[in-house]
């Protein structure tokens, strides 16, 4: 795009496009001569999505981030970690898939607006502001009660459940998640444990009492759960009305019977020729069957775009490839 001919071709493509998506830093597209005002001259009803880290305006507009560091400026890292300990940043760049999905939704909203009014628009999408929605309860707690949230481990963020966490099971690195919200669920859990003396203490019959003794409860519960297979115990507790689930490791997912029946993962042929397993369609509709495929190699659709869509003569197309205007 630094070459004049490349920018000329970009404008030709935009003139035939409904949507332009970019995530450069603010001002980069304008320097290239491809800002929204320039692009809308080629396509007046264009929908353009710009999604820099912190939006197109404001003191942080030029901040440089990756998916991992976006969570640091949203408050999410500050509430992640063990109870009473320092913040532990999230391991994976959850901001990347989340912002991809929400960005696509923003585009659909703008297209719907264009269908109704005939007007396109420029979407100023801040990845920071989108990820901030994940800390909504902690933000409300501060505004309403003046409390600054911190790491809680696996405890319930609003103190509405006890016990609430993951507990070791038999085998190497096997765990079960258990969440008890009501007194009835607690009684069911106690019965499944065989009503040990520590669990039948009247102080633990209410949520208030269980929250006060949550460390002891979690310790004792862990001693009990480590005797059992995580899947078998989860089924047993579910039958008793207790919210419990096995903690599946990555290796478990591909063989899990539930995911296999629903086609959560599918095997496809990568553009480079090898077979690989990727996510299938996680939104399943009664009529529409999506076509899921791996991401394309760079330039996969060049022939279609330049030769068919733009109608470029093939000799010119080959020359521009040799000149590295087209990759």
Instruction: Please name every residue paired with 168 in a beta bridge, in sequence order, or none if there are none.
Output: 175
**What's the N-to-C CA distance of the chain in angstroms?**
11
| Token pair of 40 as six digits | 């809308």
Q: Is the pLDDT of residue 167 over 80?
A: yes
Token couple for 73: 């400026």
Burial of 247 (0-12, 13-18, 19+ CB in 10 A): middle
Residue 68 has pLDDT above 80, yes or no: no
Please tell me the predicted confidence (pLDDT) of residue 96: 87
Q: What percent of the chain has pLDDT above 70?
A: 100
pLDDT above 80 for 109:
yes
Conformational region of residue 125, where left means phi above 0, alpha means psi within -120 to 50, and beta covers everything else: beta
- Under CATH, what is the fold of the domain 4-134? Rossmann fold (3.40.50)
Q: Report how far residue 246's alpha carbon sits from residue 248's, in angstroms, rounded to the nearest whole number.
A: 6
- Tell which residue, 302, 297, 293, has the closest CA to residue 320: 302
| SS3 state of residue 69 | helix
User: 160: which 2 tokens?
Assistant: 């509405």
**pLDDT (0 to 100) of residue 84:** 87
pLDDT for the residue numbered 282: 85
Give residue 38's pLDDT: 95
The pair of three-digit structure tokens given for residue 259, joined into one six-digit string: 């995911």
- For residue 231, how far is the Cα from the chain centroid? 26
Could you please state the CATH topology (level 3) that the domain comprising 164-247 is classified under: formyl-coa transferase, domain 3 (3.30.1540)
On whether the CB atoms of residues 248 and 173 are closer than 8 A, the answer is no
> What DSSP string runs through 195-255?
--GGGG-GGGSSHHHHHHTHHHHHHHHHHHHTTS-HHHHHHHHHHTT-EEEEE--HHHHTT
pLDDT category, 85, cuts 50, 70, 90?
Answer: very high
pTM comes to 0.85
Q: How confident is the model at residue 148 (pLDDT cuts 50, 70, 90)?
A: very high
pLDDT at position 67: 67
Average confidence score pLDDT of the chain: 94
- Which run of H or E residues covers position 279? strand 275-279
Domain residue spans of the chain: 4-134, 164-247
Q: What is the DSSP letter of 181?
A: -
Stretch 174-183: mean pLDDT, rounded? 98
| pLDDT, tens digit (0-9, with 9 covering 90-100), for 32-53 | 999 999 999 999 999 999 999 9
Confidence at residue 89, expressed as pLDDT on a 0 to 100 scale? 84
Q: Decide: 169 and 229 in contact? Cβ < 8 Å.
A: yes
- Binning the chain into helix, strand and coil, the percentages to the nearest 5 are 45, 10, 45
Instruction: Tell me the per-residue pLDDT of 219-240, one tens digit each, with 9 for 90 and over.
Output: 999 999 999 999 999 999 999 9
pLDDT at 136 over 70: yes
Cα–Cα distance between 230 and 81 in angstroms, integer?
24
């Amino acid at each position: 795009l630094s070459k004049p001919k490349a920018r000329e071709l970009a404008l030709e493509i935009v003139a035939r496009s409904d949507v332009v998506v970019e995530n450069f830093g603010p001002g980069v597209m304008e320097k290239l001569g491809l800002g929204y005002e320039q692009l809308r001259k080629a396509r007046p009803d264009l929908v353009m999505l710009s999604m820099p880290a912190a939006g197109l305006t404001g003191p942080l507009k030029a901040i440089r981030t990756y998916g991992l560091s976006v969570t640091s400026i949203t408050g999410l890292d500050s509430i992640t970690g063990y109870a009473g300990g320092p913040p532990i940043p999230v391991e994976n760049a959850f901001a990347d898939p989340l912002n991809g999905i929400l960005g696509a939704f923003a585009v659909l909203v703008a297209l719907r607006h264009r269908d109704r009014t005939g007007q396109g628009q420029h979407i100023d999408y801040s990845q920071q502001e989108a990820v901030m929605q994940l800390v909504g309860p902690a933000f409300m707690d501060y505004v309403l009660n003046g409390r600054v949230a911190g790491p809680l481990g696996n405890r319930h963020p609003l103190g509405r459940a006890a016990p609430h966490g993951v507990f070791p099971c038999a085998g190497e690195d096997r765990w079960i998640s258990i969440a008890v919200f009501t007194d009835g669920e607690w009684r069911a859990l106690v019965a499944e444990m065989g009503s040990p003396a520590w669990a039948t203490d009247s102080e633990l019959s209410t949520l208030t009492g269980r929250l006060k003794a949550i460390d002891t409860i979690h310790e004792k519960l862990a001693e009990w759960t480590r005797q059992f297979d995580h899947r078998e115990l989860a089924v047993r507790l579910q039958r008793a009305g207790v919210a419990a689930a096995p903690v599946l490791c990555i290796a478990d997912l591909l063989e899990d019977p539930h995911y296999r029946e629903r086609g959560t993962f599918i095997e496809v042929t990568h553009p480079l020729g090898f077979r690989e397993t990727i996510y299938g369609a996680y939104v399943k509709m009664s009529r529409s069957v999506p076509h899921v495929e791996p991401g394309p190699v760079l330039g996969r659709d060049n022939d279609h775009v330049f030769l068919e869509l733009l109608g470029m003569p093939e000799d010119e197309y080959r020359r521009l490839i040799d000149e590295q205007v087209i990759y």
